[in-house]
Chains A and B, each alone.
Chain A
């Protein structure tokens, strides 16, 4: 069981290193296979760990395995240790399983790219980083995984490094994530200061004895990290830009790794957040705001991948909401189903983009149902799961979250509930706007000119993972059926016990309302698309949404411009007149003095001897006098 977890962690690292060091000695295809197989080996390890834990006595399901003491400073010690418990095994399965499918799919999608080996080395590194993040047994190692995930995302978003937009997007993602990393690190430092340990169980035991201010600060720091990594408002602006990377990378970032890390952290550190209820509620509120804002922005985007990206933000908002009200099981459940259907959506969008030879603008797509029948089915399933139509996966998890909000009650619960329901309506609208625009209606001329006819729907390595995910998106939600059984939420509950548990009645009521709202969204989208209208008809609102609520412009004005102005002023006022001139003055002064001194060197031997004799006399006098 423990061995399985270690294999799961180290296999992708081994794959990444193997591809890196083998370099050109292996073929590109070989690199792809190494990456795919090591990720699936990791999945096998995760399965071993999961079933091993399943068979263990419930009282013994938190197993810490320490390889060695990694850091020791005074009383503080941090080991290179992994934690195998119900939460981490589920995350291992999701990360390595969905990650493996995505890497496999990449082999078809990236075939023919100049730098495939580099790509697969990065992909394996990404999966390793995420596995380190979810398996880490203490906050320090978690932070290492956290940082590595940021690095890998930077490398992959900027993979096409000859495109300036891709490089800019990579930098943006890195900087935004660095803000979160910093707050996370501050929280970790505060924990060391106050409790002297970073091991999960040690920290959770000591949380009760800390002052409220300390707990709030720690929770706030962790929340800052989670918000940045999971692209929640206000640190969300990197996620849509991250679409500059290859499509499978987007799928990996959105489905299996990276953005889910924040949700994982909220659940993993639930004892800290429960000790700081204000901050936990703040997480829920941020999630609710994000899900609404992202849903609204998604209504007007034209880039097929950006619509899906905003939908990710929105769905992660649901997960934050769930984690914020203490419905940890449903948060992870939605994380899992979201991993299935979001990977599916991205990968079928990838098939479309691949078929259209890189075209991503929805306005130039239409009627693809006839050309790509299998992809059409996959995309439709993904959309239905996203909107939450039964029996597809998203239905079960999203309604669980909404019902939990209803069960929480109070002004907070009701606000979140209403926000979530409005979000369901928005989801229905933007998801089906995307679906109808791309797959129904008339084929466009661009399609005819750009598509390669001989292409089909793509190679088998692309279609098989899509097929598997289609099945998972269809039945993946059946592990939790309200009133019948809920093994997954119970399993997660062993790690982080839920604060609220909706009754079956609340669940069914919520489902009815949410499905109805989703169908209304579907109807609105269908009517608008077929009438050739937009979903948002008010031009003012359209402009605001198209500019993503002016977040980029705001950050530009608040942070970038003052910093740039300050730098220019410093250069003009300090650097040039003070630093540069003083250097020049020192140089020219030295030359001048040297010129003067050189005149003493007359070349006359006798002058020198007289000078030496005189100096010796002076020295003798001085020595005698001093004695």
Chain B
């Protein structure tokens, strides 16, 4: 087995996940929030593939493919929502979209 050890992959994934999570929590533009979510999902994918390689098992890779499919669907809906908001000339700010508060 050559190349960096699994630890490195996990560190990269953790950093990506942290960046994504911070993005989701701190940014107000829905477009950026969506991007950050994608980063988090890809951090997860990276972990799955790293472990799949480590264990010599294909299951992790299959899961990663499934996650990509889900992510694509999610982006389609998310972008659709953002387009709908823009068409109605709503402010693109997640803090403003709080009509569902109790």
Q: Which residues of A contact B (CB under 8 A)?
A: 597-606, 609-610, 613
Contact = CB atoms under 8 A, between A and B. Distances in A.
B25 A606 contact: yes
Contacts of B101: 601-604
Interface residues of B, number: 14
A602 B25 CA distance: 15
> Which residue of B94, B98, B102 has the most chain A CB atoms within 10 A of its CB atom?
B102
B95 A604 contact: yes
Given A610-B25, A613-B21, A605 B102 contact: no
Contacts, number: 37
Given A609-B25, A613-B25, A602 B95 contact: no
Interface in B73-101: 94-95, 97-101
26 contacts: A597-B102, A598-B102, A599-B102, A601-B100, A601-B101, A601-B102, A602-B101, A602-B102, A603-B97, A603-B98, A603-B99, A603-B100, A603-B102, A604-B95, A604-B98, A604-B101, A605-B33, A606-B24, A606-B25, A606-B26, A606-B28, A606-B94, A609-B24, A609-B25, A613-B21, A613-B25
7 closest A-B pairs (Cβ-Cβ)?
A603-B101, A603-B98, A601-B102, A598-B102, A605-B94, A609-B25, A603-B100
> Which of A598, A600, A602, A605 gathers most chain B CB within 10 Å?
A605
Interface in B9-55: 21, 24-26, 28, 33
Give the most central of A600, A606, A610, A613: most B CB within 10 Å.
A606
A597 B102 CA distance: 9
Q: Which of B24, B26, B28, B33 has the most CB of A within 10 A?
A: B24
Given A603-B98, A603-B102, 6 more contacts: A604-B95, A604-B101, A605-B94, A605-B95, A606-B24, A606-B26
Interface of B: 21, 24-26, 28, 33, 94-95, 97-102
B102 A600 contact: yes
Contacts of A598: 102
A126 B102 CA distance: 67
A395 to B, nearest CB: 94
A602 B98 contact: yes
A601 B102 CA distance: 5
Contacts of B102: 597-603
B13 to A, nearest CB: 15
A352 to B, nearest CB: 81
Contacts of A609: 21, 24-25
A600 B100 CA distance: 12
Contacts of A610: 25
A609 B25 CA distance: 6
Nearest to A602: B101
Contacts of B26: 606
A605 B97 contact: yes
A606 B102 CA distance: 16
B29 to A, nearest CB: 12
A610 to B, nearest CB: 5
Contacts of A605: 33, 94-95, 97-98
A620 to B, nearest CB: 12
Contacts of B28: 606
Contacts of A604: 94-95, 98, 101
A454 to B, nearest CB: 84
B97 to A, nearest CB: 7
Nearest to A594: B102
A606 B95 contact: yes
A365 to B, nearest CB: 82
A119 to B, nearest CB: 65
A614 B33 CA distance: 18
Contacts of A599: 102
A609 B99 CA distance: 17
Nearest to B22: A613
Nearest to A599: B102
A605 B95 CA distance: 7
A12 B71 CA distance: 79
A564 to B, nearest CB: 51
